[in-house]
C-alpha cells in the first residue's frame, strides 16, 4: 500500500468514526429533549432546540425558525457539544437552557450551570439532570424579586424571554 493510500484509509476511518460519534450524540440530544418533555409533563411543542451561539428566537406570527437537534448542536473547543433547549411557559414566556455534553467511556457527561458534570449511562436515569434544571428555574423565579429589591440583582442561571401579547407567541 502506498503512503497516499495509507492516508486515504486513515481519513476514511476517521470519517466513519466521526459520523458514528455525531449520530450517537444527535440521538442522545433527541432522547434528552423527549425525556425533558416527559419530566416537565408539557406538550411536545413546548420544548424546542436552538443553537446557543444564535440565542433563542421565539416564533413569530406566520412561522418562525425551528432547529433539529443536529442543527442546534455546536462543538466547543473543549470537546463538548453545546445545545440549547427552550421551554415555553404558556402565557408567561420562554425559559432557555444551555447544556454541554460529550460521549466518553460508553457514557454521556452532561454539564448544566456549573463545572461539574453528571454521567449518564442510561437516559432513563436523567432525572437528576432534569431536577437540577427545574430547581434552577424555580430558584430564579423565587429569588428574582427579592434580589432586585435588595439591589443585588438576580443571578441568571437560565435565560428568560417574556411573552409578548401583541405577537401571541405562546397561546
Average pLDDT over residues 82-98: 87
C-alpha angle 73/46/86, rounded to 5°? 40
**pLDDT-above-70 percentage for the chain:** 79
Taking alpha carbons only, the member of 37, 30, 28, 41 closest to residue 118 is 28
- pLDDT digit string, tens, across residues 33-76: 999 999 999 999 999 999 999 888 877 766 667 899 999 999 98
Of 107, 140, 145, nearest to 125 by C-alpha is 107
Distance between CA atoms of residues 144 and 92, nearest Å: 15
Amino acid at each position: 500500500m502506498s503512503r497516499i493510500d495509507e492516508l486515504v484509509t486513515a481519513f476514511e476511518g476517521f470519517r466513519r468514526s466521526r459520523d458514528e460519534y455525531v449520530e450517537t450524540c444527535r440521538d442522545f440530544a433527541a432522547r434528552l429533549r423527549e425525556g425533558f418533555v416527559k419530566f416537565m409533563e408539557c406538550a411536545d411543542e413546548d420544548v424546542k432546540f436552538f443553537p446557543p451561539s444564535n440565542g433563542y428566537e421565539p416564533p413569530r406570527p406566520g412561522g418562525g425558525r425551528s432547529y433539529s437537534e443536529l442543527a442546534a448542536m455546536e462543538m466547543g473547543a473543549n470537546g463538548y457539544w453545546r445545545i440549547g433547549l427552550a421551554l415555553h411557559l404558556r402565557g408567561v414566556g420562554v425559559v432557555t437552557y444551555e447544556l454541554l455534553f460529550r460521549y466518553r467511556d460508553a457514557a454521556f457527561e452532561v454539564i448544566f450551570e456549573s463545572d461539574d458534570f453528571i454521567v449518564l449511562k442510561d437516559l432513563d436515569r436523567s432525572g437528576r439532570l432534569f431536577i437540577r434544571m427545574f430547581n434552577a428555574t424555580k430558584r430564579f423565579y423565587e429569588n428574582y424579586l427579592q434580589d432586585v429589591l435588595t439591589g443585588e440583582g438576580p443571578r441568571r442561571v437560565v435565560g428568560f424571554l417574556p411573552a409578548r401579547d401583541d405577537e401571541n407567541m405562546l397561546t
